[in-house]
Amino acid sequence: MLSLKEMEQQTVYIPESNAKEVEADLVIVGGGPAGLTAGIYGARSGLRTVIIERDALGGQVANTPIVENYPGITQIGGKALVDLMVTHALEYVKIFPGEEVMEIQPGEPIIVMTNRRRFSGKTVLLATGAEHKRLNVKGESRLAGHGVSYCGTCDGPLFKGKKVLMAGGGDSAVTEALHLHHLGVDVTLVHRKDVLRAQEQLTRNLTVNNIPVLFNTEIKEIKGKERVEEVEIHNNKTGETTSMPVDGVFIAVGYSPTVELAKKTGVELTPEGYIKRDPKHRTNIPGIYSAGDVEGGFKQIVTAAGQGSEAALAIFEDLVNPYWKKED
């Protein structure tokens, strides 16, 4: 098995392109795990495939200090894992980093306009991801990855036997609090309102497992030199502010899917704000698909990669037998 020491971060060289127009069978918007995996599967299916990414390749994974739940690799830095994925994808596809998609024009072909060039594709895959909502309190950004976490499933085992706070009051926060508790973490839930938004069954499990809940309480500051050491919490009902020593802060206050481009293109969204798609990752616009965190669901590297492979295989099948032409 591979460890963090054996998988050191590498520098990936991506050649630049001066082409003013690029033709492809599949244009992937987003270079995270879903987009990179879709690129590999699309190209291996015989599709001319390109990937466009406006920010850092790898998405949230690139900013994850250590990944310990990716099958086959016991421990690896997030950036190192991204480098492996990018290197693999480059064996098959052209990647256009630092390039922002400004407009998508549905049709045959679908035109994708970026700030640098024009892409002409038979299909487009939106793998634009989602971002964790933040508390936006002092110390949060500085200590992210050093005691501040947005994923109990990812980082919970690191806090076994330690004391942490879980911020949030919905299903995700309660589910993650229960998950941490069963891992042997001393967890307390903090919610800014007086009633949890989570399902009744989940809230009952909090009581059954004796997990404390601090209602009407907000985290005002996260403190620590190199790692989280204490938090300043404020009771918005009594006005009292106190300090509490903790080893970590988990934050589960929702996600913000990156759907601005999808909305601009006319792609239908779910009531929660994610891209609405069918079991084959098709959106309401023929030839436009989605995959990964932008669809909602579990926010895990392995599930995003799985959805990317599903979408690419579905796209290959649809290009062989276009469902939109059958409708016509």
Q: Which residue has the tokens 């579905």?
A: 314
Backbone angles phi, psi at 244, to 5 degrees: -135, 125
Confidence of residue 60 (pLDDT cuts 50, 70, 90): confident
The structure's pTM equals 0.77
Q: State pLDDT tens for residues 178-218.
A: 999 999 999 999 999 999 998 898 899 999 999 999 999 99
Q: Taking all residues of the chain, what is their mean pLDDT, rounded to a whole number?
A: 91
Q: State pLDDT tens for residues 90-144.
A: 999 999 999 999 999 999 999 999 999 999 999 999 999 988 889 999 999 999 9
Q: State pLDDT tens for residues 262-281.
A: 999 999 999 999 999 999 99
The residue length of the chain stands at: 328
Mean pLDDT for the stretch of residues 321-325: 83
pLDDT of residue 7: 45
Name the amino acid, one letter, at 44. Answer: R
Neighbours of 105 (CB within 10 A): 12
Longest distance between any two alpha carbons in the chain, whole Å: 65
Distance CA 80, CA 73 (A): 11
